[in-house]
A and B are shown apart, each in its own frame.
Chain A
Amino acid sequence: MDIGHLKQHSDLNFKVAQAKKNALEKLRSRQLMAYNQRLFQADANTINLVSTLKQHSEDFYVLDANDNPCHITDPEEFLNRLIERNQETLNAYHQLHQDLANKRIT
């Protein structure tokens, strides 16, 4: 590869990396979810925590995104909403990721 092609390659990779960064920020922002008047991130951590606590108790407390406690009285409903939001955002990210992968190939 001569320096001209290397520059083109570098430019494309910069664009793809930035698009990926932006898409991840969008994903995180779309994962914000209000529940029982508190704010949660519908990410893997929250889902894992709720899923684990649900196995031990019918109701429990968790910290929200700003470290305030929230009483979860219907863990099933909460978990379903978290998973729905999480998968909705990940589907959108997956589509963009595929587009970016195709860009790199072509």
Chain B
Amino acid sequence: MTTGVLLYCFDTETAKYHNLAERCILQAQEYLDLPITVVTNKDTQSRLKSKSVEYKIVTEKTGNTRTYRGQNVPWHNKERALAYEHSPYENTILMDCDYFVFSDTLLQLSASQYDILLHHDTHDLTGEDMIVGSDESTLPLVWATVTLFRKTTNTRAVFDMIKHVQAYYSHYRNLYRIKYNNYRNDYAFAIALHQLSLGSKIPTPMAMLPIGVDVTDSDASGVVFKYGNYTNFITGQDVHIMDKEWCDV
């Protein structure tokens, strides 16, 4: 059975996602040693320097936005619904390009036989609990940041359902009383899994550094981060970093 990593990376007018993807690829190569496929567009691919990965060129859907550090910015996140078709692997580790691997935990998860595995919970490394607000929806939230899936009938149904949810997002948004107007994969995945009664938990929460946290230094084993007057670091633990500029320098 083939196992590999699938990334989505589309630069926008305000964020150089290709810099994040380059670093994400380096980390995945260091700790996972698996083949990597990057789904991107021609423009972003021209800036990506990684040679040892496969590229799949697509034209992404535009029009979606997100709030980032007080601004409304473009967000090209809708292609992920096609991950089942885009993945050349039977066993796929689908990751955001702002998720950074500093351990072999994903290898352990990918060695299990679950159809689809996602985080259901997060751990805010700052201790400020800034990740999830209250009453954001009536839905049991999952995090699509890291999704491990095998190509099975169940998983096919999940991704087909995600496409349907994306097409009728305003209906599902109302149904589940989702607070945010924009399209978020976390909610689309959560709705699909809820509708189909599928999906299994990654048993430990996803470590996260929220938007207000700056990454000030890093090496192959971890990152140093600053929030307010506090500086801290993590090593040997995978982390979702929401600061989008830390790889730009």
Interface residues of A (CB under 8 A from B): 11, 14-15, 17-19, 21-22, 25-26, 28-30, 32-34, 37-39, 41, 65-66, 92
Contact = CB atoms under 8 A, between A and B. Distances in A.
Interface in B69-85: none
A21 B128 CA distance: 12
B204 A25 contact: yes
A34 B203 contact: no
Interface string B184-218: 00000000000000001111110100000000000
Contacts of B111: 34, 37
A58 B123 CA distance: 39
A92 B109 CA distance: 21
Interface stretch (B58-66, B152-160, B163-171, B232-240): B232-240
B203 A22 contact: no
Nearest to B123: A25
B127 interface: yes
24 contacts: A11-B229, A22-B123, A22-B207, A22-B232, A22-B234, A25-B123, A25-B204, A25-B237, A28-B204, A29-B205, A29-B207, A29-B238, A30-B103, A30-B105, A30-B236, A32-B105, A32-B108, A32-B203, A32-B204, A34-B109, A34-B110, A39-B109, A41-B203, A66-B201
A18 B230 CA distance: 11
B112 interface: yes
B112 A29 contact: no
Interface centre among B108, B126, B230, B234 (most CB of A within 10 A): B108
Contacts, number: 68
Nearest to B107: A34
Contacts of B108: 32-34, 39
Nearest to A14: B127
Contacts of A11: 229
Contact of B237 (A14, A30, A39): A30
Nearest to A29: B204
Nearest to B106: A32
A62 to B, nearest CB: 14
Contact of B125 (A22, A29, A33): A22
B232 A19 contact: yes
B232 A34 contact: no
